[in-house]
Amino acid sequence: MDIPNPADGLLRTRVDGALSGLLVADFSRVLAGPYATMLLADLGATVVKVERPGDGDDTRSWGPPHADGEATYFLAVNRNKRSIALDLRDPDDLDLARGLAARADVLVENFRPGTMDRLGLGHKQARELNPGLVYCSITGFGAGKGAGLPGYDLIAQAMGGLMSVTGDGSTKAGVALVDVVTGLHAALGVLAALRHRDRTGEGQLVEVSLLGSLLSALTNQASAYVAAGVVPRAMGNRHPSIVPYEVFGTADRPMVIAAGNDRQFRILCAVLERPDLADDARFAANAGRVAGREALVTELSKALARRTADEWFALLTEAGVPCGPINDLAAAFELSADLGLSPAVEVDGVGQVANPIRLGVTPPSYRLPPPQLGGDDAWVREILGR
């Protein structure tokens, strides 16, 4: 198919970002894929989100809460995108989707394995249309034996071992972290593939899975098993290899203390007016503190009960001991703002969490609010010459 190349100006951002001029065909929905494509969009890429007519992305209906009638879940990961509603079972809409794949620099999809192949939009088919295409496929458990397993974050947290080391051993994380980590891996893989394409002109297939991304993100816990055959267990808020590194009560509310080395432990004991604990041969080194965790934590808890969390935070932070109160999200955003990190932005009146990446020359930009379903049909047809 001969796809006309429209004026580059249609794909440029108002402020040129690092990825300005790149066109991303986003066939993903829910979280991992949309998070990855939003990151690319924030960095300047033009992202066209393909949604099914009528309902659109599943997360458009995942509420409450809502903001001005829109589900905040959808708003979280879909800014800086254009939306076109296509029924991929309709020959004309499918032809337009194939035209988008032929024109795009990057295609991201997270359908069940085999779905895009059946539609004529699989990697091999898209590569015939567009040899330079970077094709990113996101699955739950891979495209082999795990192809039939549902790619939901909760399932991945359970089957991938995260829940076994969280809380009491049956507790999920309070946010879909596996989806988020997978989205980060997907975006990184896309950027690596684009770098290869810059040098060679050759596109390639990028594959990431929820399970693979989770096992990588489990870092030290996964390494304990792979390198030493140790199967970690749930320890609540405690760390398997560092003490004290957990939640402690105070005179008013809980806080965390993360004394990561012997020097910090000695300072902690001095501030708590318990230097005897640092001098105790049982606790002088971290290995001993891990072995004697219960006895040590009991003594530290007694000392911490004498002051409030804010008082200890001030005293310990000044002394150089890592610690902090347990904030809710309102307090967390207030802290970030106080520290000058600018955690939130408004895009055409829509509140958004800011992209955390800081770039000195080509910073993230906020050009478009999350799109209305199918709201950019005419614009997409224009860039495709339709």
| Separation in Å, CA 5 to CA 10, 133, 282, 386 | 10, 15, 71, 11
Secondary structure (3-state) at 191: helix
Q: Among 132, 97, 92, 131, which residue's Cα sits nearest to residue 115?
A: 97
347-351 own/partner pairs: CB under 8 Å, 24+ apart: 347/79, 350/67, 350/68, 350/70, 350/75, 350/79, 351/67, 351/75
Q: What Å distances lie between residue 162 and 152, 154, 219, CA to CA?
A: 14, 10, 11
Residue in 26, 42, 179, 376 annotated catalytic: 179
- Active site includes 179? yes
Torsion of CA 100, 102, 104, 108, to 10 degrees: 80
What distance in Å separates the CA atoms of residue 305 and residue 310, rounded to the nearest whole number?
12
Q: Is 334 helix (H, G, I), strand (E, B) or coil?
A: helix
Residue with tokens 């249609």: 10
CA triple 84-86-92, angle to 5 deg: 120
Please list the active-site residues: 179
